A and B are shown apart, each in its own frame.
Chain A
Amino acid sequence: MESIAQLLQKIPKYDGLPEMLQALIPIIVSSIVIFALLALAVLFMVWLERKVSAHIQDRLGPMVVGGWHGWAQTIADALKLLLKEDIVPESVDRVLFKMAPFIVFLGAFAAFVVLPFGASSFVTDLNIGILYIVAVSSLSVIGIIMAGWASNNKYSLYGSMRAAAQVISYEIPAAVAIMTVVIYVGSLSMVEIVRAQEGGFLNWFLFRNPFLFLAFIVYFIASLAEVNRTPFDLPEAESELVAGYHTEYSGMRFAFFFLAEYANMFLVSSVAATLFLGGWTAPFSILQFIPGPVVFFVKALVLIFIQMWMRWSLPRLRVDQLMYINWKVLLPISFALILGAGWMAIL
């Protein structure tokens, strides 16, 4: 935000505005920038997902819209969704029903504020950045429960209950895995965490020691569950619950759920890239000429690709198996990891 505020200072007569506006405008401008970035990233990710799934499944995917490999397909789809009739079923709780998609989206959106895309390209560097991400991203559960309850549909209710149980449970191993990194850095600030990994890929926390490597795997698995991706896509398991908590949604509201899902995917991949893969720092010193944001996006995309790859290859777990993996496998492992990492840090 500082950089945006500095840019705004250069506008003539900006100082003449009331103080209230001077404080508000940078906030609004940076929100718009983040939103635009996010929308663009999601459009690209949806296209990528369709292409990846198509090639895994021995077909081509979108090939027509836009010319080259159907690059404009998702833009057309997004426009179609926005132009669709806004259907609110008769027996829903109207206020909650209309509010839910935005709350779900808000959870993902707000977390982007502290992501350091590059050495100087971030909105703000909170000194409790990673804690803030964990806290804000779990806000979306409230939206999901709202959607499930307000829809007045049993499938939605099932979906939202599953989502709540799953997201809240898996947050614990994810947070504990994050803590192993924090022990090393001694700071919760995202920028500080990246700075601690500068100087080639051997300095990345992923390759520092075996405990951190395992912590990355624990975090990755838990984050898959947090964003409801296969094999943990139970809340929207289409073969069981039709579409889970967004069964009754259509048009623009559905698009917001969709946007939030992909934004969350991008978020967890970015967090993993920041914490374990060195954020914006280049893996080799020869590659240092590449701008930080590009390196960051490439790393996030690699993780997103792995998520997609898993989604189109694996079947889905059952509820009891899901809970088993969390409470009896991931959680003990993550506690052991934090002990191990702490011990290594002392040495």
Chain B
Amino acid sequence: MEVNYSGDIMTLNMGPQHPSTHGVLRLELKTDGEIVADAIPHIGYLHRCFEKHVENVDYAGVVPFTDRMDYCAAMNMELGYVLAVEKLMGIEVNERTRYLRIIMAELGRIASHLIAAGTYGNDIGSFTPFLWCFRDREDILDFFEETCGARLLYNYNCIGGLTQDIKPGLEDKILKFLDRFEPEVDNLNRLLSDNFIFIKRTADVGILSPEKAISYGVTGPNLRGSGVRFDVRKDEPYLGYEEFDFDVQVGKGEHGRLGSCWDRYMVRIREVLESCKIVRQAIAKLSPGDVRENVPKRIKPPKGEVYMRTECPRGELGYYIVSDGSPKPYRLKVKSPCFTVMSAFRDMCKGTMIADVISILGSIDIVLGEIDR
């Protein structure tokens, strides 16, 4: 949209307390009537000094801190960290641990994408999808609760294995859930994704071209929404993802230009079904074993540094760990997917309308806990 800003500019502070900033984010909007001339994000309201804290705890003690970064996908956060430390120490985990980690990570991805889709519906003004999504997410949280006792911050992965094995019979419950859940995705599509008003509101809004997306370091579903076929699980597999048969979903630009809010939203919905496929395959491959077989007695990695990244629901999460040979990390730096996509946000918002700012913000699906750390 080509707009000339001739009128007076009014500054509108959106947040840090606002229903749809998904946490404590402040957007400084320069508005001319309903049109947004500039949207400047101010972050840091949830800064909890994660990187400073972890320099003062031992390697095993970092795991609960990682949970609290992206509290919507805590399983995936801690998985990235333990994989980084295992890479640093050269630990290989056994098969059962690997598959259980994949099952949990993919269930976590489903739960996280359900939050993303539900809250996005809420942002666009439709409240019902939100509760439908949370109903199904609730079942996944029940599985997590049964496995590790917590519903939100799990502390389930540990360096070299898992804190405990799953309870007998959980596999069947998960399979039963998937059978029930997969048709629900079609229901959600009928209610929200294919809704005429929803498409009008999200297609052709907040375009992020592939070149721009790569330059801004955008990753995960947001990058794939721009049509770039890149997924860490496929392109740099970890945990044996190469053994699994699944597709990388990309935005196709069915409605309007490629890289719109609708594309990003739809990639998530399609990814949920891919995750279901992976979980089914992983459950079929599950063999008996001891999940604590490879857990080291004392964790003291050698001197050195490591960078490890995993595909999280919100993009690729990287851990850069510097070890000085002591039991505590010398430096731990997190590459946060939401942080990078947030830096592209200002570019995407220029010249849109106030309602579009909300729909762009919802479509990039940020969690402030991870941006601010």
* A interface, CB within 8 angstroms of B: 53, 56-59, 154-155, 158, 230-231, 233-234, 237-242, 312-321
Mark interface residues in B93-133 (1 if CB within 8 Å of A CB, else 0): 00000000000000000000000000001111111100110
Closest Cβ–Cβ distance, residue B136 to chain A (whole Å)? 10
**A238 to B358 CA separation, bound complex (whole angstroms):** 11
B353 at interface, CB cutoff 8 A: yes
Give the residue name and chain of the A residue nearest to B17 (CB). A242
Pair B355/A314 contact, Cβ less than 8 Å: no
**A322 to B339 CA separation, bound complex (whole angstroms):** 34
**A319 to B18 CA separation, bound complex (whole angstroms):** 20
Pair B192/A315 contact, Cβ less than 8 Å: yes
A154: which B residues are within 8 A, CB to CB? 10, 12
Q: Which of A58, A155, A234, A237 contacts B131 (CB 8 A)?
A: A58
B191 at interface, CB cutoff 8 A: yes
Pair B356/A313 contact, Cβ less than 8 Å: no
B173 at interface, CB cutoff 8 A: no
A233: which B residues are within 8 A, CB to CB? 125
Whether A240 touches B354, Cβ cut-off 8 Å, given contacts A58-B131, A315-B121, is yes
Give the residue name and chain of the B residue nearest to A316 (CB). B125
Closest Cβ–Cβ distance, residue A121 to chain B (whole Å)? 37
A234: which B residues are within 8 A, CB to CB? 355
Number of A-B contacts (CB under 8 A): 79
- Which stretch of B140-148, B196-204, B218-226 is in the interface? B196-204
A317: which B residues are within 8 A, CB to CB? 197, 200-201
Q: Which of B122, B197, B356 contacts A239 (CB 8 A)?
A: B122
Closest Cβ–Cβ distance, residue A110 to chain B (whole Å)? 30
Pair A320/B353 contact, Cβ less than 8 Å: yes
B353: which A residues are within 8 A, CB to CB? 318-320
B34: which A residues are within 8 A, CB to CB? 158, 319-320
The residue among A241, A314, A318 with the most chain B CB atoms within 10 A of its own CB is A318
**A231 to B125 CA separation, bound complex (whole angstroms):** 8
Pair B126/A313 contact, Cβ less than 8 Å: yes
A320: which B residues are within 8 A, CB to CB? 34, 353
What are some 7 contacts across the A-B interface (CB < 8 A)? A57-B128, A158-B12, A312-B127, A313-B126, A313-B191, A314-B125, A314-B126
Pair A316/B356 contact, Cβ less than 8 Å: no
Report the interface size for chain B: residues with CB under 8 A from the other chain.
29
Closest Cβ–Cβ distance, residue A224 to chain B (whole Å)? 13
B313-365 interface with A by 8 A CB criterion? 353-356, 358
The residue among A155, A312, A314 with the most chain B CB atoms within 10 A of its own CB is A314
A316: which B residues are within 8 A, CB to CB? 124-126, 197, 201, 355
Known interface pairs A158-B354, A312-B128, A313-B128; 6 further A-B residue pairs with C-beta atoms within 8 A, sorted by A's residue number: A58-B135, A230-B125, A239-B125, A242-B19, A318-B355, A320-B353
Closest Cβ–Cβ distance, residue A233 to chain B (whole Å)? 7
Whether A240 touches B128, Cβ cut-off 8 Å, given contacts A154-B12, A314-B195, is no
Give the residue name and chain of the B residue nearest to A165 (CB). B34
B200: which A residues are within 8 A, CB to CB? 317-318, 321
Pair A318/B356 contact, Cβ less than 8 Å: yes
Pair B358/A57 contact, Cβ less than 8 Å: no
Whether A315 touches B358, Cβ cut-off 8 Å, given contacts A57-B131, A239-B122, A240-B20, is no
Pair A239/B20 contact, Cβ less than 8 Å: yes
B12: which A residues are within 8 A, CB to CB? 154-155, 158
Closest Cβ–Cβ distance, residue A246 to chain B (whole Å)? 14
B198: which A residues are within 8 A, CB to CB? 315
Q: Which of A58, A155, A158, A239 contacts B124 (CB 8 A)?
A: A239
B191: which A residues are within 8 A, CB to CB? 313
B132: which A residues are within 8 A, CB to CB? 57-58
Give the residue name and chain of the B residue nearest to A313 (CB). B128
**A312 to B354 CA separation, bound complex (whole angstroms):** 23
Closest Cβ–Cβ distance, residue B237 to chain A (whole Å)? 38
Give the residue name and chain of the A residue nearest to B123 (CB). A239
Pair A315/B131 contact, Cβ less than 8 Å: no
Give the residue name and chain of the A residue nearest to B192 (CB). A315
**A165 to B124 CA separation, bound complex (whole angstroms):** 21
**A66 to B18 CA separation, bound complex (whole angstroms):** 34
Give the residue name and chain of the B residue nearest to A238 (CB). B19
Pair B20/A231 contact, Cβ less than 8 Å: no
Pair A315/B124 contact, Cβ less than 8 Å: yes
**A10 to B229 CA separation, bound complex (whole angstroms):** 85
Pair A59/B356 contact, Cβ less than 8 Å: no
B201: which A residues are within 8 A, CB to CB? 315-318, 321
Give the residue name and chain of the B residue nearest to A241 (CB). B354
B18: which A residues are within 8 A, CB to CB? 242
Pair A314/B131 contact, Cβ less than 8 Å: no
**A230 to B353 CA separation, bound complex (whole angstroms):** 19
A241: which B residues are within 8 A, CB to CB? 354
A53: which B residues are within 8 A, CB to CB? 127-128
